[in-house]
């Protein structure tokens, strides 16, 4: 059965949560928000979407790797 307009509105309904961060984590969050010209909430949403995407790929056996364009050195991100 397809989602109705009411179902979609309910899924998009915003909820509030409290997030406790260390000073160091808050400084990092604020720096990223400024660098990316986003709110702190925007950065956290982006981080959540990134983690969801990485987790989905890892569930299918894929890896997340990085390559230095200059040196061609490669690294792999490992999440536990």
Pairwise CA distance, residues 77 & 70, whole Å:
19
Two structure tokens written together for 67: 């390559």
Nearest-CA neighbor of 15 among 56, 55, 45?
45
Pairwise CA distance, residues 54 & 78, whole Å:
10
- Domain residues of the chain, as ranges? 15-77
The structure tokens 């986003």 sit at: 38
Q: How far is CA 66 from CA 37, 57, 69, 70, in A?
A: 24, 15, 9, 12
pLDDT band, very low/low/confident/very high, at 2 (cuts 50, 70, 90) = confident
pLDDT in tens, 6-23: 766 777 788 999 999 999
pLDDT band, very low/low/confident/very high, at 1 (cuts 50, 70, 90) = low
């Amino acid at each position: 059965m397809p989602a109705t307009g009411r179902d979609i509105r309910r899924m998009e309904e915003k909820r509030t949560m409290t997030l406790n961060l260390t000073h160091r984590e808050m400084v990092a969050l604020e720096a990223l928000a400024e660098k990316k010209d986003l709110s702190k909430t925007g950065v956290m949403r982006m981080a959540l979407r990134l983690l969801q995407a990485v987790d989905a790929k890892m569930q299918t056996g894929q890896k997340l790797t990085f390559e230095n364009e200059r040196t061609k050195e490669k690294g792999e991100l490992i999440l536990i």
